Amino acid sequence: MHKVVVGALVREGRVLLVHRSPNKRAYPDVWDLPGGLIEAGESELGALTRELHEELGVHIATGSASHLCRVAAGPAEEPALLSAWLVRDWQGTPANVAPEEHDDIGWFGLQELPPPAHAVVRTALVEAMRSHRA
């Protein structure tokens, strides 16, 4: 089973989402949290740090990250274990530095979140943002 980590960069009540390229095999043409596969020997936070740097050009403050949820995702013949994290602090300005992965990025408030790729992740994110005033 593949292990995947995604991160919600949150600031001033808004979350950064990436729009997955239409030619992606998994979840094409949807807004989602940035992230990717956990490599052998990597911790979830290590993979999250690497992925968010590769995709957005930011360096997250791992001490500001809190775990949101884990969920089995993907097709039954090729399932993945998805782990989602909330990140409140980072260095750098998020930019789309992986255009082969996603064709756009954007900040969204709770009232304007697009349909989720993973409903469980969205629910956990919304609850965390409301309760922590992230």
Residue given tokens 């500001």 in the structure block: 64
Q: What is the pLDDT averaged over residues 87-96?
A: 96
Residue 72 Cα distances to 15, 75, 104, 107, 132, angstroms = 22, 9, 26, 26, 26
pLDDT exceeds 70 at position 120: yes
φ and ψ of 113, to 5 deg: -60, 130
Q: What is the pLDDT of residue 83?
A: 96
Q: What is the pLDDT averaged over residues 59-66?
A: 94
What pTM, to 2 d.p., does this model score?
A: 0.91
> Could you read off the pLDDT of 14-52 as tens digits, one per residue?
999 999 988 887 788 899 999 999 999 999 999 999 999
The three-state secondary structure class of 13 is coil
Number of domains in the chain: 1
Q: What CATH number should be reported for the domain holding residue 84?
A: 3.90.79.10
Termini Cα distance of the chain: 32
Per the structure, the complete domain to which residue 107 belongs is given by 2-132
